[in-house]
Amino acid sequence: MKRTLIIGQIVILLIIGVKVATIGQLFEHAGFTNKMDLVRAAVASTNPQAVISTTLGDAGENNLQKERDLYALLEKRKKELDSRQESLRLEEQKLSVLKKEIQDKIDQLGIIEKRLEVKLDAEKSADAKRFKDLAKIYESAAPAKAGAMLEKLDNKTAAGITMNMKRDKAGAVLSNVNVQKVVEITKEITKSFKAEPEKK
């Protein structure tokens, strides 16, 4: 009988040892560093399951807290990105409005430019007609008298009249004009010929 009792006690100690070893492996797997304190607390406690579940609960709580922190960080980052995306969308809208305003201004300037070109062409046509009419008057006058009148005009007007006169008449009138004035008229005529091709 004593023998059976001793064998029973040995079996109970072996079962306790196996349980302790299993719990140790469990805690090692869960990442606990101080296994011996946990085993001592479990053996000393009247309710070892409570000590084990409390410790495991703490480990699970730590992992859960890490996941919560990570989730909060991800949520914060998502909000920042959403805010930045909204800012970019608003900036894009502003740029689109600004682009439309600029395009409208360019279109308006194009219309004004066409109007000015038409006006300028009309003025050039009127000037050309005036110069032709004046050229006829200067051609009909005596070369000496026409030369004296031409000499008193500004260079641009004198050049415009001279260009619209017949060659031989223009030569006769210019022969009665001061040499310096003829040079200035010639420069003005040359300048107007250079300006014509550039505009076209």
Phi, psi for 167 (deg, rounded to 5): -55, -50
The model carries a pTM of: 0.43
pLDDT for 107: 92
What average pLDDT score do residues 135-153 get?
90
Query: Does residue 17 or residue 84 have the better pLDDT?
Result: 84
Q: How far apart are CA 33 and CA 58, in angstroms?
A: 13
Question: To 5 degrees, how large is the angle CA 114–CA 126–CA 147?
Answer: 140
Each residue of 17-31: pLDDT tens digit? 777 777 666 656 555
Query: Does residue 37 or residue 179 have the better pLDDT?
Result: 179
Each residue of 86-112: pLDDT tens digit? 999 999 999 999 999 999 999 999 999
Give the HSE-up count for residue 193: Cα atoms under 13 Å, Cβ half-sphere: 8
